[in-house]
Amino acid sequence: MRLDKYLADMNAGTRKELKTAIRKGLVTVNGQVIRDAGFHVTGNETISLDGEEIGYQAFEYYMLNKPAGVISATEDRRHRTVLDLLGDRRRRDLFPVGRLDIDTTGLLLITNDGALAHRLLAPKHHVDKVYRAAVTGTVTESDIRAFAEGLRLEDGLTAMPAELRLLEVRQNSAETVSFVEVTIREGKFHQVKRMFEAVGKKVLTLQRISMGPLVLDRSLPEGEARPLTEEEIKALLSLS
Ligand code: URA
């Protein structure tokens, strides 16, 4: 990769600033001043800017409490993305682990650890994801059984068995709404919404509260992110 791009990816500055710094002789690669922004680097070199070593740091892990209205992508022309919410901590190698729909809120892990992301997302690893939802109508025992048995979705595919727990039913003159907790082990597109559609109900709000051992921090306001604690990282990395 080009030297200026590498440094920009490391958040060392804008491409323009970095080109200038390189031209001024402020950048060294393996101890040698390099004045060519197009100089080829692999990332295995020791690269310094103004005497400070810049490198691919150890992996980073953030918990984001995703608000509605932002999309789970690294860039988008029309909408704010979950990475925009990281502010200064944003780096180009960070990405969200899996996707939440634009209107889904709650726990989203953002990292640059591709191997961990793969482990969390690969269907064969069956990592539990727990959601809280408000859905139209009254959730019945037969819905709970249907979820437990594995529902057939509208595309003909079967969802793996899921646990559905009814927390509360609220009724007013206009409508009945059930508040539920759903645990799924896979992450098909719109999975929870489509499972409820399959039993004739519509999801009104959806919030993810956990993913494997990682639980949404209740003190983290919507729209904010914080680095994972050592314990949280350890728990994730010890997933088999
Ligand atoms: N299931 C959905 O339907 N949407 C999400 O965002 C996550 C799970």
pLDDT for 178-203, tens place per residue? 999 999 998 888 999 999 999 999 99
71 with 98: CB under 8 angstroms?
no
**Rounded CA separation 102/105 (Å):** 8
pLDDT tens readout for residues 54-102: 865 568 999 999 999 999 998 888 999 999 999 888 878 899 999 999 9
pLDDT above 90 (res 137) = yes
Spatial CB neighbours of 67, under 8 Å, sequence gap ≥ 6? 85, 105, 222, 223
Single out the catalytic residue among 4, 101, 128, 217: 101
Specify the pLDDT at position 25: 96
Q: What is the 128 CA–ligand 1 centroid distance (Å)?
A: 13
Q: What is the 195 CA–ligand 1 centroid distance (Å)?
A: 10
pTM of the prediction?
0.78
Specify the pLDDT at position 57: 58
Main-chain dihedrals φ then ψ at residue 31, nearest 5 degrees: 85, -5
Specify the pLDDT at position 238: 85
**Rounded CA separation 122/101 (Å):** 19
What mean pLDDT, rounded, does the chain reach?
A: 92
209 with 130: CB under 8 angstroms?
yes
187 CA: nearest ligand 1 atom: 8
Q: What is the 88 CA–ligand 1 centroid distance (Å)?
A: 28
208 CA: nearest ligand 1 atom: 7
pLDDT tens readout for residues 100-125: 999 999 999 999 988 899 989 887 88
Q: Tokens 């896979």 — which residue?
A: 186
Catalytic: 103? no
85 with 62: CB under 8 angstroms?
no
210 with 55: CB under 8 angstroms?
no
| Ligand 1 lining (C-beta closer than 6 Å) | 100-101, 104, 190-193, 206
